[in-house]
Chains A and B, each alone.
Chain A
């Protein structure tokens, strides 16, 4: 084969691999994208049955109940609307009443959100970004609770 032919066959081969990878990416993206919703979003745009989605908000104070069989139920609020969530399993360490939480799962026909994943972030002062924005949209955002620090540039001799 001449240099030109070799180059051409290489380009064709690379093209085939890239095209199949692109196809794969598109198919995979279609099936595994999960949209984030606040309780108000779910009311405004009810998801299709069996669609996986993320539900985020604040855990309502006093809403956590524990049922036999490691089932936990709690209510997630965005300040305007709420949605009850049920989850089987051990909750993350930072899961607490009044704190931000993101859950992932499916909406049941009876209106209960059945979560198989509960994410509560590492840092205690940290609010999941999606939750913070959903709260801002509902007008109940109270700002960053962590106090600003007094900062002074380095002083010589201290």
Chain B
């Protein structure tokens, strides 16, 4: 019964979606306010319908109703509740429902929190949002319905793919989807701006929070996915330049460029046409990301669902939304008129450079990811583009970006002074040199490139900190005034600090983990010792252990360095009972920001255990830096300016005073 309610809710949502995409737009065209005001109501109804559908999906999974095909294929009654729930979105059909639910959620949030938006812009935005939802609902109902029944009902399910039975991957898709779908609002806003011709600082202010929300979640989603791949796949790598990872990186890069260019538009009314294009591209890349993972178009370590039959439909949807928006853009963007002027040395120009480098980096990732596909379509050659390509192209583009990062906030709007900015960054540059010297001494003359990387990372962090110090004049005034000035700085300033410093921390983590990691592979018996990166690992015990729906062979190690005990680490080979699929459960011991990483290989009958151990110095900084950057986004989001629409607020403040007279 629950599955039928869910199915019905999807059909209902489809009907609402058709109304939501048609009526408000008709209203905008005829300037009919009644029709336009229908948009928020319809978005609300859509949200309720999708909420019911998603809740039904969750409950058939929670109740292990194996008469539902989707549950039978992806769940098993012995799985713990959290994984029975995450199984609901750990497959193609369910993930599409989650996607559309998130879409409806964003539209409902927009309806609720945008009372100051011009009514026609709001109606058009919600209509585009409705159009996306309608398309996805058609796709779900026609090709990927999660509520199909099985008759007769099987007694037991097939189990969720064991590598997905992990808390990291239970949370990864929702975070990523909130990120992807969040950009849908930027897209809808951009299309609505092209339709209504309303494109100004107010538009930028309305869009910016949504872009930031999407970016924060996308950052967290990518970080979590990367950490999951690191500990679950057992290779010890944290980024593989795998097509599916690239698919999430591209919207992230475009989104990063977008929230920077929106600042220019909001403050200076410049770069308007470019910002619109970026908003369209960010969501187009998100759409591609969603579909590349799920369609089986790309062969990848992450390709869980493989069904090329859906490929055609997906291609049609992609070209409809991307092509449609770009065509509208080509037609209307020319009529928007010129934006504000700025000198080549100004905050605007710095942000333009940021956009140029980020967009180019996105393009290089795009080429590397899709070139194998294109080549295979036109010739018979099957190729893969490996990490060296991405490291070279992407890496080279990131160096100037990070070098310029500290300069941006130091330059004034409209006309900046590069020399003054450089002078303010002298301390940061000095610190960077000191950091390079210290790391050269610590690593006894490490590779020059790594030292340069440390210096760059330190420069970015120190540059971000000195911006705050100089703005609050912390060093030249009494502590009390300095503190009150610090408290008086807009939250946005701290957002920039955390965001930029987070990227610096990330870089330092990447450089140390990739340059100074050490690896040892050994076969050990109980009592034997191996050493990796100066640490000694002694195998103290190995044996079987049972879990809820799996059987482990666990090996325990004592870790010492120069005779001092540092702790205990366990690693396991796991076999899931229902599907008999083996997985590697790696063990990590944190030492400082580094990790000792232990993965098991073959466990022989004679008690010999194959062990692969890594010492990964500072690797945790990689994810710590990303979380810092996301926190920076959150900080900016809480800025007063974004919470309160300034022009409207001023009018309201005057209004009561007038009536009081």
Measuring CB to CB, which residues of chain A are less than 8 angstroms from any residue of chain B?
Answer: 3, 6, 9-10, 14, 17-18, 21, 24-25, 27-29, 31-36, 52, 54, 66, 70, 88-94, 119, 121-124, 126, 128-130, 133, 149-158
- Bound together, the chains give a CA A90 to CA B344 distance in angstroms of 54
Q: Which of B302, B357, B384 has the most CB of A within 10 A?
A: B384
Q: Does B122 lie at the interface of the complex (its beta carbon under 8 Å from any beta carbon of A)?
A: no
B342, chain A: closest CB distance, angstroms? 8
Across-interface contacts of B72 in A (CB, < 8 A): 149
The 8 A-B pairs with the shortest beta carbon distances in the complex, nearest first, are A90-B601, A36-B382, A32-B388, A32-B389, A28-B392, A28-B389, A93-B582, A152-B151
- Bound together, the chains give a CA A124 to CA B579 distance in angstroms of 9
Across-interface contacts of B299 in A (CB, < 8 A): 128-130
**Interface of A (DSSP majority class):** mixed
A14, chain B: closest CB distance, angstroms? 6
> When the two chains form their complex, are residues B382 and A130 in contact, meaning their CB atoms are under 8 A apart?
yes
Across-interface contacts of B523 in A (CB, < 8 A): 70
> When the two chains form their complex, are residues B360 and A150 in contact, meaning their CB atoms are under 8 A apart?
no
Given A122-B161, A154-B7, residue A93 in contact with residue B148 (CB < 8 A): no
A-B Cβ contacts below 8 A, count: 142
Stretch at the interface among B171-179, B250-258, B363-371: B363-371
- Bound together, the chains give a CA A121 to CA B161 distance in angstroms of 12
Given A21-B397, A93-B584, residue A9 in contact with residue B344 (CB < 8 A): yes
Q: Does B303 lie at the interface of the complex (its beta carbon under 8 Å from any beta carbon of A)?
A: yes
> When the two chains form their complex, are residues A89 and B612 in contact, meaning their CB atoms are under 8 A apart?
yes
- Bound together, the chains give a CA A154 to CA B1 distance in angstroms of 9
- Bound together, the chains give a CA A3 to CA B342 distance in angstroms of 9
Q: Which of B537-585 contact A (CB under 8 A)?
A: 573, 579, 581-584
Query: Which residue from chain B places its CB closest to the CB of A3 in the assembled complex?
Result: B341
Across-interface contacts of A35 in B (CB, < 8 A): 381-383
- Bound together, the chains give a CA A131 to CA B622 distance in angstroms of 35
Contact of B304 among A70, A123, A157 (CB under 8 A): A123
Across-interface contacts of B67 in A (CB, < 8 A): 158
Q: Does B525 lie at the interface of the complex (its beta carbon under 8 Å from any beta carbon of A)?
A: no
> When the two chains form their complex, are residues B367 and A90 in contact, meaning their CB atoms are under 8 A apart?
no
Across-interface contacts of A89 in B (CB, < 8 A): 521, 612
Contact of B393 among A17, A24, A156 (CB under 8 A): A24
Across-interface contacts of A122 in B (CB, < 8 A): 161, 163, 301-302, 304
Across-interface contacts of A152 in B (CB, < 8 A): 148-151
Contact of A36 among B341, B344, B384, B392 (CB under 8 A): B384
User: Can you report 9 A-B residue pairs in the complex whose CB atoms are below 8 A from each other?
Assistant: A6-B344, A25-B393, A31-B392, A36-B384, A70-B601, A89-B612, A90-B600, A90-B610, A124-B579
Given A70-B521, A154-B3, residue A21 in contact with residue B364 (CB < 8 A): yes
Query: Which residue from chain B places its CB closest to the CB of A56 in the assembled complex?
Result: B382
Q: Mark B51-79, 1 if CB is under 8 A from A, else 0.
A: 00000000000000001010011000000
Known interface pairs A29-B385, A94-B582; 7 further A-B residue pairs with C-beta atoms within 8 A, sorted by A's residue number: A9-B344, A25-B368, A35-B383, A93-B584, A122-B301, A149-B69, A150-B151
> When the two chains form their complex, are residues A126 and B306 in contact, meaning their CB atoms are under 8 A apart?
yes
Number of interface residues of B (CB under 8 A): 63
Contact of A18 among B360, B382, B600 (CB under 8 A): B360
> When the two chains form their complex, are residues B583 and A32 in contact, meaning their CB atoms are under 8 A apart?
no
Across-interface contacts of A66 in B (CB, < 8 A): 602
Across-interface contacts of A70 in B (CB, < 8 A): 521-523, 601, 610
Query: Which residue from chain B places its CB closest to the CB of A93 in the assembled complex?
Result: B582
- Bound together, the chains give a CA A28 to CA B389 distance in angstroms of 5
Across-interface contacts of A133 in B (CB, < 8 A): 382
A86, chain B: closest CB distance, angstroms? 15
Q: Does B386 lie at the interface of the complex (its beta carbon under 8 Å from any beta carbon of A)?
A: yes
> When the two chains form their complex, are residues A153 and B148 in contact, meaning their CB atoms are under 8 A apart?
yes
> When the two chains form their complex, are residues B7 and A14 in contact, meaning their CB atoms are under 8 A apart?
no
Across-interface contacts of B386 in A (CB, < 8 A): 32-34, 52
Across-interface contacts of A52 in B (CB, < 8 A): 386
A20, chain B: closest CB distance, angstroms? 9
A141, chain B: closest CB distance, angstroms? 15
> When the two chains form their complex, are residues A21 and B149 in contact, meaning their CB atoms are under 8 A apart?
no
> When the two chains form their complex, are residues A90 and B151 in contact, meaning their CB atoms are under 8 A apart?
no
> When the two chains form their complex, are residues B382 and A21 in contact, meaning their CB atoms are under 8 A apart?
no
A55, chain B: closest CB distance, angstroms? 12
Query: Which residue from chain A places its CB closest to the CB of B7 in the assembled complex?
Result: A154
> When the two chains form their complex, are residues B149 and A25 in contact, meaning their CB atoms are under 8 A apart?
no
> When the two chains form their complex, are residues A54 and B384 in contact, meaning their CB atoms are under 8 A apart?
yes
Q: Which of B352-400 contact A (CB under 8 A)?
A: 352, 356-357, 360, 363-364, 367-368, 371, 381-389, 392-393, 396-397
> When the two chains form their complex, are residues A6 and B341 in contact, meaning their CB atoms are under 8 A apart?
yes
- Bound together, the chains give a CA A101 to CA B574 distance in angstroms of 21
- Bound together, the chains give a CA A122 to CA B1 distance in angstroms of 34
> When the two chains form their complex, are residues B356 and A14 in contact, meaning their CB atoms are under 8 A apart?
yes
Across-interface contacts of A9 in B (CB, < 8 A): 344
A2, chain B: closest CB distance, angstroms? 10
Q: Does B4 lie at the interface of the complex (its beta carbon under 8 Å from any beta carbon of A)?
A: yes
Across-interface contacts of A130 in B (CB, < 8 A): 299, 382
Across-interface contacts of B612 in A (CB, < 8 A): 89-90
Across-interface contacts of A153 in B (CB, < 8 A): 148-149
Given A123-B304, A153-B148, residue A24 in contact with residue B392 (CB < 8 A): yes
Given A21-B360, A90-B602, residue A154 in contact with residue B344 (CB < 8 A): no
Given A33-B383, A36-B383, A123-B304, residue A90 in contact with residue B356 (CB < 8 A): no
- Bound together, the chains give a CA A16 to CA B302 distance in angstroms of 37
Across-interface contacts of B582 in A (CB, < 8 A): 93-94
Q: Which of A10, A27, A88, A152 has the most CB of B within 10 A?
A: A152
Across-interface contacts of B7 in A (CB, < 8 A): 154
Given A25-B367, A149-B73, residue A154 in contact with residue B389 (CB < 8 A): no
> When the two chains form their complex, are residues B301 and A151 in contact, meaning their CB atoms are under 8 A apart?
no
